[in-house]
């Protein structure tokens, strides 16, 4: 096992741990700032690279904010959707049986297979509303 591999694995572990503790969707810049605050000397480009790897592996969730900025969160491994506060990023993992059934039925009715879907609900959380 090379030195580089060990280091990048450790970096990814730190990123996942921090994302889990933040418990909301954050941008790469926000995550980078939080890592620096925690004493890490990790560079922003390394954060981007690790986030890309983790996203590709399905270890973290990614969504796109209205302005196109990617946001990341450490989520539960089961299929779920998000209820997202557009002000503070607070996130609730939700299940949506109706969406699962509907997306399956409508896709198959049109002859589609290997179907995936993305459904996020965005709004203002109780704390931000008051």
For residues 10 and 92, which CB has a smaller minimum distance to Zn ion in the complex?
Answer: 92
Residue 119: which residues within 8 A CB-CB, separation 6 or more?
A: 81, 96, 99
Q: Tell me which residue has its CB nearest to Zn ion.
A: 75
In the bound state with Zn ion, the residue whose beta carbon lies nearer, of 38 and 94, is: 94
Tell me how far apart the alpha carbons of residues 106 and 58 are, in angstroms, rounded to a whole number. Answer: 26
Q: How far is the CB of 43 from Zn ion (least distance, A)?
A: 26
CA-wise closest residue to 92 among 17, 26, 25: 25
Q: Which pair of structure tokens corresponds to residue 59?
A: 């270890």
Q: Footprint of Zn ion on this chain (CB under 5 A)? A: 61, 75, 85, 87-88, 90, 125, 128
- Shortest distance, CB of residue 116 to Zn ion, whole angstroms? 9
Smallest separation (angstroms) from Zn ion to the CB of 106: 13
């Amino acid at each position: 096992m090379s030195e580089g591999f060990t280091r990048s694995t450790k970096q990814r572990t730190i990123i996942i741990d921090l994302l889990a503790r933040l418990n909301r969707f954050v941008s790469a810049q926000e995550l980078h700032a939080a890592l620096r605050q925690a004493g890490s000397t990790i560079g922003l480009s390394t954060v981007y690279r690790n986030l890309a790897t983790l996203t590709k592996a399905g270890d973290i969730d990614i969504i796109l904010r209205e302005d196109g900025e990617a946001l990341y969160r450490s989520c539960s491994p089961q299929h779920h959707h998000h209820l997202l506060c557009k002000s503070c990023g607070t996130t609730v993992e939700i299940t949506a049986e109706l969406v699962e059934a509907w997306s399956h039925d409508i896709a198959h009715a049109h002859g589609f297979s290997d179907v995936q879907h993305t459904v996020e609900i965005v709004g203002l959380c109780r704390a931000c509303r008051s």
